[in-house]
């Protein structure tokens, strides 16, 4: 196996609070290992178009507290093509990049897997997404910060909901995963969470109305995943099927992505960054760094992106009990 002397680092897909802490960690751990570090701007698109520059320790000073990503990020349709990946690989050759460390979500790691397979490049994935939907890791960079942002917003919405005896449907991100909705519902004392993982034959809205709205409880907060029409869909249903209730919708949108990362995300990102460099030193390749039961583990990228991460059914039960 070729000795690694130079690594490239990029962030791809949606930004997540804590990515900068991870960039800092990867950069300094790599330099500590005696390697050169090249930062790739705007993700896979930047690798295709040669947006690359060498990083030093100073390059990552005073970024641990910043949200977003200093490397920028972009979607890249061109990278989805063999020709695009070929251009990206030639950029790597130009700078002598021996291995890639990719911070991002499902799509970003799928891209990492593709270039690794086609050009025999050692790739290490780091899970950076607020959705927390990657299999094999208890948490992803940005998830804790997003969760805290949602809870802060819901606390404020609660004041209005109570003052006006309203039902508020609050839509949160998460794509096909309900981790943000479910856990923020518990943390904010919401009455229900409507999530993809709980979409059985039981009508979630009817179930909520039947058990969650009592004569003594006219105001309610319902957290809704953005999938299948999201909060607007359920609000319209209530207006039609239960016109006696005053319904409002709040879509938090990209508000959830921003802000300073929490201490938890900064520590997690720092651990992931160091672990990614250690993995390369051990000869690991095509794996995602993960954390399970507070221990760093390695998960094959193929498993991380192909297997659906299950939600803890106990959380659904906890919310159901506490919302009476």
- Which of these, 270, 259, 203, lies nearest to 27 by C-alpha position? 270
Tell me phi and psi for residue 215, to 5 degrees: -60, -30
pLDDT at residue number 295: 98
pLDDT along the chain (324 residues), means of 10: 92 96 98 98 98 98 98 94 97 98 96 97 98 97 98 93 86 91 96 80 70 59 90 92 90 95 98 98 97 98 95 91 84
Residues with active-site annotation: 131
In whole angstroms, give the CA distance from residue 52 to residue 211: 56
In whole angstroms, give the CA distance from residue 241 to residue 40: 52
Sort 207 into a burial class: Cβ within 10 Å, 0-12 / 13-18 / 19+.
middle
Residue listed under structure tokens 């899970």:
127
Specify whether the CB–CB gap between 73 and 12 falls below 8 A: yes
Sort 96 into a burial class: Cβ within 10 Å, 0-12 / 13-18 / 19+.
exposed
Is the alpha carbon torsion for 193, 199, 205, 209 positive or negative? negative
pLDDT at residue number 200: 52
What is the pTM (predicted TM-score) of this model? 0.94
Sort 248 into a burial class: Cβ within 10 Å, 0-12 / 13-18 / 19+.
middle
pLDDT at residue number 202: 56
Specify whether the CB–CB gap between 227 and 133 falls below 8 A: no
DSSP lists the bridge partners of residue 193 as 223
SS (H, E, C) 85-107: HHHHHHHHHHHCCCEEEEEECHH
- For β-strands 220-225 and 123-127, DSSP reports them as unpaired
């Amino acid at each position: 196996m070729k000795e690694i002397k130079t690594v490239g680092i990029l962030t791809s897909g949606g930004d997540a609070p804590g990515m900068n802490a991870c960039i800092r960690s990867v950069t300094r751990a790599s330099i500590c290992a005696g390697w050169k570090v090249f930062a790739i701007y705007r993700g896979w698109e930047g690798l295709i178009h040669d947006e690359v520059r060498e990083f030093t320790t100073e390059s990552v000073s005073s970024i641990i507290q910043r949200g977003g990503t200093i490397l920028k990020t972009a979607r890249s349709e061109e990278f989805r093509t063999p020709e695009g990946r070929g251009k990206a690989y030639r950029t790597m050759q130009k700078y002598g990049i021996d291995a890639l460390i990719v911070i991002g979500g499902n799509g970003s790691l799928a891209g990492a897997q593709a270039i690794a397979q086609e050009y025999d490049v050692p790739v290490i994935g780091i899970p950076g997404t607020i959705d927390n939907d990657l299999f094999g890791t208890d948490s992803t960079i940005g998830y804790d910060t997003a969760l805290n942002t949602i809870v802060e917003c819901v606390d404020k919405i609660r004041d209005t909901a109570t003052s006006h005896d309203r039902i508020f449907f609050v839509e949160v991100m998460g794509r096909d995963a309900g981790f943000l909705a479910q856990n923020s519902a518990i943390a904010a004392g919401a009455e229900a969470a409507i999530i993809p993982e709980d979409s059985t034959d039981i009508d979630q809205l009817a179930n909520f109305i039947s058990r969650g709205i009592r004569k003594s409880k006219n105001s309610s907060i319902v957290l809704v995943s953005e999938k299948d029409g999201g909060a607007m869909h359920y609000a319209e249903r209530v207006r039609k099927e239960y016109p006696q209730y005053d319904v409002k919708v709040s879509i938090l949108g990209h508000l959830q992505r921003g802000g300073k990362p929490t201490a938890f995300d900064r520590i997690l990102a720092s651990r992931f960054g160091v672990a990614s460099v250690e993995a390369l030193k051990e000869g690991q390749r095509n794996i995602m760094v993960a954390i399970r039961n507070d221990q760093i583990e390695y998960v094959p990228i193929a498993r991380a992106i192909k297997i659906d991460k299950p939600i803890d059914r106990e959380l659904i039960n906890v919310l159901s009990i506490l919302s009476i």
